[in-house]
Amino acid sequence: MNILEFSLLIWLGSTATGFVGALTGLGGGVVLVPFLTLVFDVDIRYAIGASLISVIATSSGAAAAYVKEGFTNMRIGMFLEIATTLGALLGASLAAWMPTSVIAIIFGVVLLYSAYLSSRPLPEQLDGGPPDPLATRLRMNGHCPTTLGPQSYRVHRVPLGFSLMALAGVLSGLLGIGSGAVKVLAMDQVMRIPFKVSTTTSNFMIGVTAAASAGVYLNRGYIDPGLSMPVMLGVLVGSLLGARVLVRARTRLLRTTFALVIVALGFQMIYNGLTGRL
């Protein structure tokens, strides 16, 4: 396989991962890292570096479309980004000395637990009880487009959501996944934000989180331009296509896609980590 063929295959695979990432709020990295390591035998740290670059592109592409459609809550995103950025710097620092097999196992466990939570969704209610006082003070409550017109929603348990976002940042820096899985679940099931608002706000946030981590990986030489370029271009195209589909998709279908993709990848990553293949 020559360089052109390799780059083309990487681009096609990255386009598919970007499409799935935009639909589920994962940012593409959660599928991309296993794709690069399991299919093309790329060292997991270089795969994470390329993934972080692609996550920045995904956020830039999909987030603009979501903001235009009126789904993204920018106040929530900007506040929670404080926690994720600090966590991302910590996670990227940990990745430097942690064995790749351990990183792969942690990756798989995170994916399986995310799939488990996603399989037990809370009933989606746009206005379920009194909002968190902090959410009211920060004017986080908002409204989102629906087929029946704009519907209001209230934000709950902001301190707990903020704490989970710090964990999401650590996972982003450690695993290069943009931490969309934890972010979506924290906003959807802890803060009780509508699922489409959670996924779109996650896409808005992941670029800043990934940029903080990417700086650490770049400084340590784990970002290869020859790998990162086709990955970034593919994920960007896929994320733009996914953004167009999301606004018309059903929430149940999104949850099913979310769970099926990450449970399969979770088992595969754990297996390869335990057997020392990564």
Domain that holds residue 77: 3-274
Number of other residues whose CB lies within 10 A of the CB of residue 225: 9
In sign, the C-alpha dihedral spanning 235, 58, 48, 195 is negative
Cβ atoms 154, 129 nearer than 8 A: yes
pLDDT of residue 247: 66
- Count of domains for the chain: 1
pLDDT of residue 26: 59
pLDDT of residue 245: 78
pLDDT of residue 10: 93
Residue type, 97: W
pLDDT of residue 94: 86
pLDDT of residue 271: 85
Q: Among 220, 228, 272, 261, which Cα is nearest to 100's?
A: 272
pLDDT along the chain (278 residues), means of 10: 86 86 65 83 88 77 68 86 89 83 85 70 53 83 77 86 88 74 75 81 79 85 91 85 73 70 81 79
pLDDT of residue 11: 93
Q: Among 121, 103, 100, which Cα is nearest to 258's?
A: 121
pLDDT of residue 251: 62
